[in-house]
A and B are shown apart, each in its own frame.
Chain A
Amino acid sequence: MKGERAVTASPVLPVLLPAAERMARTALRERANGAPLLRLRAAHGIALLVTFAVGCALAQSQVLPANPSILETIWKWTPLLARGFVFNLAISFVAMALGTIAGLFLGYAQISLLPPVRKAAWFATHFFRNAPWLVLLFYCMFLLPFEVTIFGVTIPIPDWTKATLGLALPVMANVSEIVRGAIQSIPTTQWEAAASLAFNRRQTMWMIILPQCIKRMLPPWMNLYAILTMATVLASIVGVNEMMTLTQRALSAENRPGLLLAFYSYVLLWFFVYCYPIARWTVRLERRYAVNQ
């Protein structure tokens, strides 16, 4: 691979080697992942906290004597924002579940022995992976009907369902690539060994290849989940009542421009607190599996 070659071909500055090696490894992983890896660090959290504190201080200096303090105001709105956040999480769970199930099939289809199946799966994967998430979201919002009538029964399709579907599409495409990448990362010698023990293709896949893939798929899958969670705020643009929408409502209800920085960095903090442990855990899993390979 290109990255590995870059490492071995630069013995001129040995001091740089540790960093070069690490960067090459990250590049390799990101190439396998097909997207930049989300690497939340504690420093990011601290930066956020500082922003939040600065925002609060700035806002506090503009507070009229009669009004409640900034922290009190934020605290007042927190239950509502929390309800919005729970909604974000619900969307992320459902989108992740749907996208993962569909993505597993799509990824499996990408290595089908039948060329038409393989090509169609490849096209679907790359179409949904490269389309902007927001565009997919708009498509789902405005192309899906707001209700369907089956056998005289009218079933409404609420906006958040459509938004969830819209987010599940890129998840599906990314999971599809993760599956394909993991299966193809298993050495062909495993296939050979299985074949010479008279396993058929399906047995080889389910008993020998896929079990080895799971640990390779887990870190990028968790990474994808963290990205999805942060992308759920996109649903605010199409009018779903999640945290971002509620924050805007709270801001317009307060009608004080000084609150902007404090409120939005507060929302960011919520997401950071939720995603940071996932990111740390992903890194740990990656390290563990890298050692065991």
Chain B
Amino acid sequence: MPSAGEAGAGAARSAMHESRPIVELHDVHQAFGDVEVLKGVSFEVAKGGVVCIIGPSGSGKSTLLRCINGLIPIKSGTIRVADFDVHTLVTDRQKIALRKEVSMVFQQYNLFPHKTALENVMMAPIHVLNEKRDEVRERAIALLTKVGLAAKRDAYPGELSGGQQQRVAIARSLAMRPEVMLFDEVTAALDPETVKEVLNTIRALAREGMTCILVTHEMRFAREIADEVLFTDGGTIVESGAPAELFDRPRKERTKAFLSQIL
């Protein structure tokens, strides 16, 4: 099991905050019917750490992320996020408490099409966290400014490009002030030019010390920002390590084969 100690920069950063990892998975199993999707996945993420999950399609990456914020229940094993034992959460109320701390950004943006960009960002803090509208509005505008879309605040999702929608989606998640951000192939549906603007946004977040878990196909990006890279295949973590190690000196044959295909 890889630990945060092996993960260079992540370890240094986590030492400054606290020693206990903020996300901890142990021997997680998950199956859809008879199809086993996750076959014993274990890893940890230190507070402020950035972990990238790479691997071929259908290797259970997206499922893994959805398990972490309780969208999909797991068959066995344990998942802990901050003070929540995710695998024990049953009621809606418990899951909602968890999701206030863990926010997720999706491949297809999933903005609410009937609300403007600003309203998309403001909705959850107002209705879920019960914060004051004026304060939320200020924060939402600041967040939209941060992702470079202050001018588009009154536009509806349908009027925005894919990259712009994805940045609004990131701002929407950030408005909840989560402890952990999950990114599920957030650039997979974008054209190459707009990928950059989204990656810049995520890079800035990671630099600020946000704990991020990314499923991604952007290898160069993963190498640049990750503290640790996990290579998954067939529902297990085949190999993990610091990006320089994993990308330049992969130990397992499967990893070598995968990397030679895409690099």
> Residues of A at under 8 Å CB distance from B?
189-190, 192-201, 203, 207-208, 211-212, 292
Q: Which of A198, A200, A208 contacts B112 (CB 8 A)?
A: A208
- Separation of A211 and B95 alpha carbons in the complex (Å): 24
- How many chain B residues sit at the interface, stated as a range, is 20 to 34
B220 CB within 8 Å of chain A? no
B112 touches A190 (CB 8 A): yes
Instruction: Establish whether residues B96 and A200, one from each chain, have CB atoms under 8 Å apart when the complex forms.
Output: yes
Residue-wise, chain B 80-122 has the 8 Å CB interface mask toward A (1 for contact) of 0000000000001101110110111010101111100000000
Give the Cβ gap from A218 to chain B, nearest Cβ, in Å. 14
Question: Which B positions have Cβ atoms within 8 angstroms of A?
Answer: 69, 71, 92-93, 95-97, 99-100, 102-104, 106, 108, 110-114, 123-124, 127-128, 158, 172-173, 176, 182
Please name the residue on chain B nearest to A197 by beta carbon: B124
Point out the residues of chain A lying under 8 angstroms from B176, CB to CB. Answer: 197-198
Q: Which residues of A contact B128 (CB under 8 A)?
A: 197-199, 203
Which applies to chain B's interface (DSSP): helix, strand, loop or mixed? mixed
A-B pairs, top 7 by smallest CB distance, nearest first, are A193-B110, A198-B99, A196-B104, A197-B124, A198-B128, A189-B110, A198-B96
Min distance, Cβ A9 to any Cβ of chain B, angstroms: 26
Closest to A188 in B: B110
CB of B159, distance to nearest CB on chain A (Å): 11
How far does the Cβ of A191 sit from chain B's closest Cβ, in whole Å?
A: 9
B127 close to A189 (CB less than 8 A) = no
Of chain A, the residue at the smallest CB distance from B69 is A196
Contacts A203-B128, A211-B114, A292-B158 known; list 7 others, CB within 8 Å: A190-B110, A190-B112, A198-B96, A198-B176, A199-B127, A200-B92, A201-B92
Contact of B71 among A196, A199, A207 (CB under 8 A): A196
Alpha-carbon distance between A199 and B176 when the two chains are bound, in angstroms: 11
List chain A residues, Cβ under 8 A from B106: 189, 192-193
Chain B residues, Cβ within 8 Å of A199: 96, 124, 127-128
Q: How long is the Cα–Cα vector from A192 to B169 in the complex, in angstroms?
A: 13
Find chain B residues with CB under 8 A from A189 CB: 106, 108, 110
A176 to B69, CA, bound (A): 33
Decide if B127 touches A207 in the complex (CB within 8 Å): yes
* Smallest Cβ-Cβ distance to A202: which chain B residue: B92
Given contacts A189-B106, A292-B158, contact A198 B113 (CB under 8 A): no
Which residues of B lie under 8 Å from residue A196 when comparing CB positions? 69, 71, 99, 102-104, 173, 182
| Cβ B173 vs Cβ A197 within 8 A | yes
- Residues from chain B with Cβ under 8 Å of A207 in the complex: 123, 127
Q: Name B124's closest neighbour in chain A (CB-CB).
A: A197
Please measure, in the bound complex, the distance between the C-alpha atom of A292 and the C-alpha atom of B113, giving whole angstroms. 10
- Whether A197 lies near B158 (C-beta < 8 A) is no
Question: In the complex, which residues of chain A have a beta carbon less than 8 angstroms from the beta carbon of B173?
Answer: 196-197
A211 to B222, CA, bound (A): 39
Are A212 and B113 in contact, CB atoms less than 8 angstroms apart? yes
A207 to B128 alpha-carbon distance, docked (Å): 12
CB distance from B256 to the nearest CB of A (A): 35
Chain B residue numbers with a CB within 8 Å of A292 are: 158
Interface centre among A192, A193, A194, A212 (most CB of B within 10 A): A193
Contacts of A190 in B (CB 8 A): 110, 112
* B172 near A197: Cβ-Cβ < 8 Å: yes
Task: Choose among B99, B103, B114 the residue that contacts A212 (Cβ–Cβ < 8 A).
Answer: B114
Report B-chain residues with C-beta under 8 Å of the C-beta of A198. 96-97, 99-100, 124, 128, 176
In whole Å, how far is A52's beta carbon from the nearest beta carbon of chain B?
Answer: 46
Inter-chain contact A197/B99, CB cutoff 8 Å? yes
Q: What's the Cα separation between A200 and B128 when bound, in Å?
A: 8
Whole-angstrom CA separation of A190 from B113 in the bound complex: 9
Residues of chain A within 8 A (CB-CB) of B124 are 197-199
Contact B103 A197 (CB under 8 A): yes
Contacts of B93 in A (CB 8 A): 200
The CA-CA distance from A197 to B104 in the complex, in Å, is: 8
- A192 B172 Cβ-Cβ under 8 A: no
- Cα A207 to Cα B115 in complex, Å, equals 10
Q: In the assembled complex, how far is the CB of residue A195 from the closest CB belonging to chain B, in whole angstroms? A: 6
